[in-house]
Amino acid sequence: MFSLYSYYLLLLVLALNTSSNFGNMETEALLIWKASLLNHSPSLLPTWTISNSSSYFNTTTTPCTWFGISCNNARNVVKLNVSSLGLQGTLLNFKFSSFPNLTTLDLSSNALFGTIPASLSNLSDLTTLYLYENQLSGSIPPEIGNLKSLKSLELYTNTLTGSIPASLGNLSDLTSLYLFENQLSGSIPPKIGNLKSLVNLAISTNNLSGNIPASLGNLRDLTILYLWENQLSGSIPPEIGNLKSLVDLQLAINTLTGSIPASLGNLSDLTTLYLYDNQLSGSIPLEIGNLKSLVDLLLYTNTLTGSIPPSLGNLSDLTTLYLNENQLSGSIPPEIGNLKSLVDLELNNNILTGSIPASLGNLSNLTTLNLFENQLFGFIPPEIGNLQSLESLALFTNNLSGTIPASLGNLSDLTTLYLHKSQLSGSIPPEIGNLKSLEILALYTNTLTGSIPASLGNLSDLTTLYFYDNQLSGSIPPEIGNLKSLVDLEINTNNLSGTIPASLGELPNEIGSLSELDHLDISYNNLSGPVPKEVGNVPSYYI
C-alpha cells in the first residue's frame, strides 16, 4: 500500500504527463520507482522530488542534481548509483526503457527482492550492472545476454536460482562476471569460454554441477577463476593451463576427480592454488614447482598418492603449504627447508615415512608445523628449536624415538606442543618450563622416564597437561600447584611415588592455586599419603 507521500509523488507525475511540453521520461520513471519502495525507503532519497518552485511544464526538468544521478551534456541520465542505502522493494516498477543512455546501474547492497526483470535488457548502452548483496530471487533472465556493451556484471550474494544462461556468452566486452553466493544450479555453460575479454570469473558457492568446461581455457586474459564450493565433478581440464594470466585459481570444495594436470605448471603468475576438499588422485605433478609466484598451495583432503616433489622447494614465496589428509608416502624432502617465507606447513594425516628433515629448522617464519598421524621415525631434530616464530607444534602419532630436544625450550611463542603417541624416551627436559606461552602440553603414550620437572610450574597459561601412559617416576613436584590456569591434569599410568602435594588440595571453594581445575587423573601410580578432602570439589577426578 502506498503512503501519502508516495501518493503525492504519483500526483506530481500525472501532472507532468498532462503537459505536451514534458518529455522527461527519466524523471517520471525514477519517481514511480521511488514511490513503489517499501518501509519508508522513500525517505532515503530526499532529493528525488520536484520542488514547489519548479515549473511542472519546464521541458528542462531533469533529475541531474538528484543524489546518485549523473547526466551527460544533453542532461540525459547516464549513471544511477544508489547502493548501500537500505532500499527495500522490487524492480518490477522500474521502467528500464526510460533510460536509453544509461551506462551504469548500481543498486547493490540494499534489501531489494523479487526477480530481475527481463526488461532490463532495454539498457542497450549499459556497461556496468551491480545488483549484488540484495535479496533477489528467481533466475537470471537470458535477455541479459543482449546487453552487448556490458563490461561488468555483478549479481553475487543474492538467492538467485536456476541455471547460468548460455546467452551470457554473447557479452564479448565483459571483463568481470561475479555470480557467487547464490543458489544457481545446472552446469557451467561452455559458451562462457567465448568471453575473450574476461578478467574475473567468480561463480563459487552455488549448487553448480557437471564438468568444468574445457572452453574456459580460451580466456587468456583471466586473472581470477573461482569455482569453489559447488558440486562440480569430473577432472580438471588440462586447458586451464593455457590461462597464462591467471593469478588466483580456486576449485576447492567440489567432487572433482582424476589427477592434477601437469599443465598447471605453466601458470607462472599464479599466487593462489586451492584444490582442497575434492577427490583428486594421482601424484602431485613436479611441474607445480615451476609456479615461482605461488604464495598459497592448498591440496588437502583429497586422495593424492606418491611422494612430495622436491621441486616444491623452488617456491620461494610460498607462505602456506597444506598437503594434509591425503595418502602421500615417502619422506619429507629436505628441500622444503628452502621455503624461507613459509608460515604454515601441514603434512599431517598421510603415510609419510623417514625422518623429519633438520632443514625444517631454517623456516624462521613458521608458526604452525603439523606432521602428526604419519609413519615418521627417527629423532626430533634439535634444529626445530630454531623456529622462534612457532606457535603450534604437532608431531604426535608417529614412530618418533629418542629424547625430546632441550632446544624446544627456545620456542617462546609456542602455545600447543603435541608429542604424544610416539616412542619418545628419556626425561622431560626442564627447558620446557621456559615456554611461558604454552597452553596445551601433551606427551602421553610414550616411554618417557625420569621425574616431572619442577620448572613446569612456570607455565602460568597452561590449561591442559597430559603425561599419562609413560614411565615417569619420582614425586609430583609441588610447583604444579602454581598452574593457576590448569583445567585438565592427567598423569595417570606412570611410576610416580611419594605423597600427593598439598598444593593439589587447594581446589575450588578455597582460595587456591588450581581454581580452574575440572579434571584430575593421577591413578595407576605408586602415590601414598592421604587424599585431600578438597579433591571432592573437582568435577572429574581419578586417584
- The span from the CA of 462 to the CA of 486, in Å, is 6
Q: What are phi and psi of 93, to 5 degrees?
A: -100, 10
Mean pLDDT, the chain, as a whole number? 90
> Strand (E) positions, 42-115?
69-71, 77-81, 88-89, 104-106, 111-114
Give the SS3 label for residue 510.
coil
- Domain-embedded: residue 527: yes
Closest C-alpha among 247, 246, 214, 253 to residue 230:
253
Specify the number of domains making up the chain: 1
Residue 88 lies in a domain: no
- Residue 487's domain comprises 402-542
CATH number of the CATH domain containing 413 = 3.80.10.10
For residue 251, tell me if it sits in a domain.
no
**DSSP states of 184-223:** -EEPPPGGGGG-TT--EEE--SSEEEEPPPGGGGG-TT--
What's the pLDDT score for residue 48?
Answer: 92
pLDDT at 390: 98
Is residue 443 a part of any domain in this protein? yes
pTM of the model: 0.88
Q: Residue 525: what residue type? A: N
Beta bridge pairs of residue 401: 423
145 SS3 class: helix
The grid coordinates of residue 463 equal 590449561
Tell me, what's the pLDDT at 501? 82
* Residue at 490: amino acid letter: E
3-class SS shares of the chain: helix, strand, coil, % to 5: 20, 20, 55
| Burial track 95-127 (b if 16+ CB lie within 10 A, e otherwise) | bbebbebbbbbbbbbbbbbeebbeebbbbeebb
C-beta contacts of 157-160 below 8 A and 24+ residues apart: 157/132, 157/133, 157/181, 157/182, 158/131, 158/132, 158/133, 158/134, 158/182, 159/135, 159/183, 160/116, 160/136, 160/184
Residue 98 lies in a domain: no
| Residue 474, in any domain of the structure | yes
CB 224 within 8 A of CB 202: yes
Q: How far apart are CA 304 and CA 321, in angstroms?
A: 15
Ranges of the chain whose pLDDT falls below 50: 1-2, 4-5, 7-9, 11-23, 53-59, 507-513
Residue 537: its pLDDT value, please? Answer: 57
Rg for the chain (alpha carbons), in Å?
33
In a domain, 450, yes or no: yes
In one letter, which amino acid is 424?
A: L
| DSSP string for 420-445 | -SSEEEEPPPGGGGG-TT--EEE--S
Contact (Cβ atoms closer than 8 angstroms) between residue 127 and residue 102? no
Sort residue 540 into left (φ over 0), alpha (ψ -120 to 50) or beta: beta
In a domain, 334, yes or no: no
* Segment (H or E) for 131: none
Q: Which residues face 70 on adjacent strands? A: 79
Dist CA 269 CA 278 (whole Å): 24
Residues in the chain: 543
Compute, in degrees rounded to 10, the torsion defined by CA atoms 315, 318, 320, 321.
Answer: 0
Q: What is the pLDDT of residue 59?
A: 44
Alpha carbon 45 to its chain centroid, in Å, reads 37
**Other residues' Cβ atoms within 10 Å of the Cβ of residue 442:** 19
